[in-house]
Amino acid sequence: MDWGLRNRMARMIKPASGHTVMLAVDHGYFMGPTRQLEKPRETITPLLPYCDALALTRGVLRASVDPSVDVPMVLRVSGGASVLKDDLSHEAITTTMEEALRLNVAAVALSVFVGSPHEHESLVNLSKLVDEGERYGMPVLAITAVGKELEKRDARYLSLACRISAELGAHMVKTYYCDGFEKVVESCPVPIVVAGGPRLDTDRDALELVHGAIERGATGVDMGRNIWQSEHPVAKIRAVRSIVHDRATVQEALALFEEGKRTEGKRPPAA
C-alpha cells in the first residue's frame, strides 16, 4: 500500500485505538429524503465533532458541509437505482475518481450486490475502482448491500460478500452485524465496519449491536439511522464512540447516553 493510501486510511481509522466511528448520511442517493435527514446540514452539523469520517454523496457534501471542517469524507460513487424499483442492484459508478480527488476525500465507496441480478456489474465496478484507487492513493470501501432482501443477512452470505470484496481489492468493507459475526471477520483480510440498518427498537439494542461487532473484531461502525433518527443524536453517537474507541460495556455506554440526554437538548421531531 502506497503512502498516500495508507495516510488516507489512518485519517479514518484512528491509529490510537485502531477503530473508527463513521457517520453514514448517504441514504438519499436511492431513498430520497429519509426521515430526520430531510435537511442534511441540520442533521450533520451537530454530529461532526463526534465522527471520525462522514459517508455521503458529492451533492450533500457540496450543499451541506462547510469545506473548513476537519473530518475525512467517504464519498459514495455508485448509484443509479431508487427504492421505487424492485431491483436496487442496477448501479453504476456515478462519480469519477477525478471528482473524488477534487473534493479531497479520504475514500470512495460503492455498493456490491453479491447474489443479485446485477452482481457481475457491481463486482466489475469494484475491481475497476480499486485499479483507479491504487493509481491515485484512494482507498475503496465496498458496501455489501443486500437491497430489499434482508433475510440474506446471515454469516454465510455476509462472509461470501465480504471475502469477494476483499479478494477484488477493496481496502475496507462495510457489512451488517449478524449471528456468528466473528466468522465474517475471520475470513475477511481487510478492516470491516458495520452498518446499523433501520432504527432498532431500543437504544440498548443499537449499543448491543455496536458492542457485539467490536467484540467480534469489527474495526468500527459506519452507522446512520440508529444515530440521527434518535431523539438524542449527539448523546447516541457519543455512546457509540465510548464502545468503539474506549471499549465501554453496553451498560457504561447506556449510562453515558442517559447523561447526554440530560445535558443535551432533544432534537425537534420531523415535520
Query: Is 91 a binder of ligand R5P (CB under 6 A)?
Result: no
Chosen residue from 223, 237, 243, 253 binding ligand R5P by CB under 6 A:
223
Identify which range of 2-10, 79-87, 113-121, 217-225 contacts ligand R5P by CB under 6 A: 217-225
Task: Considering only the stretches 64-72, 94-102, 152-160, 191-199, report the one whose residues sit in contact with ligand R5P under the rule CB under 6 A.
Answer: 191-199
41: which 3 cell numbers? 446540514
**How many Cβ atoms from other residues are within 10 Å of residue 16's Cβ?**
6
Binding map of ligand R5P across residues 41-70, x = CB under 6 A, - = no contact: --------------x---------------
Interface residue with ligand R5P, options 143, 158, 166, 253 (CB under 6 A):
143
**Which residue among the candidates 148, 152, 174, 183 is catalytic per the annotation?**
174
- Catalytic residue status for 148: no
Closest CA to 224 of 12, 7, 44: 44
What is the x/- site pattern for ligand R5P, positions 145-184, by CB under 6 A?
Answer: ----------------------------------------
Q: How far is CA 18 from CA 25, 171, 191, 214, 245, in A?
A: 23, 15, 10, 11, 8
Please identify, using beta-carbon distances, which residue of 133 and 224 lies nearer to ligand R5P: 224
Of 118, 163, 225, 261, the one binding ligand R5P by CB under 6 A: 225
Residue choice 224, 239, 256, 261 for contact with ligand R5P (CB under 6 A): 224
Only one of the segments 129-137, 158-166, 194-202, 260-268 lies at the binding site for ligand R5P (rule: CB under 6 A); that segment is 194-202
How many chain residues are in contact with ligand R5P, going by CB under 6 A? 13
Q: Which region, left, alpha or beta, applies to residue 139 given φ > 0 means left and ψ of -120 to 50 means alpha?
A: beta
Cα angle 42, 44, 49 (rounded to 5 degrees) comes to: 125
207 binds ligand R5P (CB under 6 A): no
Q: Does 206 bind ligand R5P (CB under 6 A)?
A: no
The whole-angstrom separation of Cα 199 and Cα 228 is 9
236 near ligand R5P, rule: CB under 6 A: no
Binding residue (CB under 6 A) for ligand R5P from 8, 11, 19, 27: 27
Give the rounded distance of the alpha carbon of 83 from its chain centre.
19
Residues near ligand R5P (CB under 6 A): 24, 26-27, 55, 143, 195-197, 222-226
Residues annotated catalytic, as ranges: 174
